[in-house]
Structure 1
Amino acid sequence: MSSSSLLEQISTFMNEQIPFQQYLGIVVTRFDAQQSEVRFRWKEELVGNAPMQILHGGATATALDTAGGVVIMASVIERLNKDLSPEEIVQRIARCGTIDLRVDYVRPGRGEEFITTATIIRSGNKVAVARMEMHNNEGMLIAFGTGTYIVG
């Protein structure tokens, strides 16, 4: 199985099988080792400040963490031995998890859609680090963050 086919299958799994992501409306729109992207649309259920109609910080943090995790998983897949079966690769990335997440909220979360991208800062055998940014549909930076993930 090619790595692009595997990435597509994992992306589909994340989009369709993770209940919290589905609730938030987060969809993986780019899944590769250079950059990932996840998007979600504004909805009233995600308001954190009702009088000001601002996105909840937890939704922002989740989108940042998801984008970081996606780029980390893609990086792990790219680095793995090509002789591994798809099942072995899935088992390996299933062990990936967030160790630390730092979020800096730059502006209030307002917009019709939120686009979060992530790139790799460092990818080691045990730990990987990603940098993430969230913009609204007008290109305004809402938040950025750094995530550290266990990968081995």
Structure 2
Amino acid sequence: MHNSPLLPMITQAFDQMPFNRLLGLKVTRFAEEGVEVCFDWSEQLIGNPLQKILHGGVIASVLDVAGGIMAVSSALGRLADVAPAELAERLGKMSTIDIRTDYLRPGRGERFIATARVIRAGNKVAVCRMELHNEQGMHIALGTGTYLVG
């Protein structure tokens, strides 16, 4: 990962997002080869009350957040010399273009770990691959996200 003064800005923006706080998301790894975002089971995240499994929207959202963090980090090298005001504007325009989520198993567990890595980083678009596992390593979902980064 780039040793950039932008990393604290990205971390702060992540922590300030009310939706991320609502889900209880925490970035637990931020490295060049990938990111890791974790959250704990909560009754508020149930999608099926009979089976007590995660809501599919929670799963897709967490994958999108992990992919988005990775996509933004892929653009850091190009943004290192940008003035702070322009940087804030450019970071504000970065967004998800498309996301695909494949649900492999019901979302059961006590703790969940989403990982993401960049498949391709271009000047305008980054493509990431994301996975969600529970604390036992059971593969719950995978996703592919396309992000506007330039």
Letter in 2 for 1:88: E
- Please show how residues 25-44 of structure 1 align to structure 2 within 5 Å: 25-44=24-43
Question: What's the secondary structure of 1:30's corresponding residue?
Answer: strand
The one of 86, 94, 104 equivalent to 2:102 is: 104
Give the superposition deviation at 1:85: 2.9
State the 4+ residue runs in structure 1 displaced beyond 4 angstroms: none
Gaps of 5+ in 2: none
Aligned pair in 2 of structure 1 residues 3, 89: CA closer, same or farther (>3 Å)? farther
Question: What's the secondary structure of 2:75's corresponding residue?
Answer: helix
Gaps of 5+ in 1: none
TM-score, normalised to structure 2's length?
0.92
C-alpha separation in 2, matches of 1:79 and 1:32: 17
1:137 match: 135
The one of 142, 147, 150 equivalent to 2:148 is: 150
Mean CA deviation greater in 90-99 or 40-49: 90-99
> Does residue 1:88 correspond to 2:98, yes or no?
no
Superposed CA RMSD in Å reads 1.6
Report if aligned partners of 1:76, 1:93 keep a CA contact under 8 Å in 2.
Answer: no
Mean CA deviation greater in 67-76 or 83-92: 83-92
Give the superposition deviation at 1:127: 1.1
- Please show how residues 51-90 of structure 1 align to structure 2 within 5 Å: 51-80=50-79, 82-90=80-88
TM-score, normalised to structure 1's length?
0.90
Letter in 2 for 1:78: G
Give the superposition deviation at 1:32: 3.7
Report if aligned partners of 2:113, 2:134 keep a CA contact under 8 Å in 1.
Answer: yes
Number of residues of Structure 1 aligned to a counterpart in Structure 2: 149
Give the percent of matched residue pairs that are identical in Structure 1 and Structure 2: 53
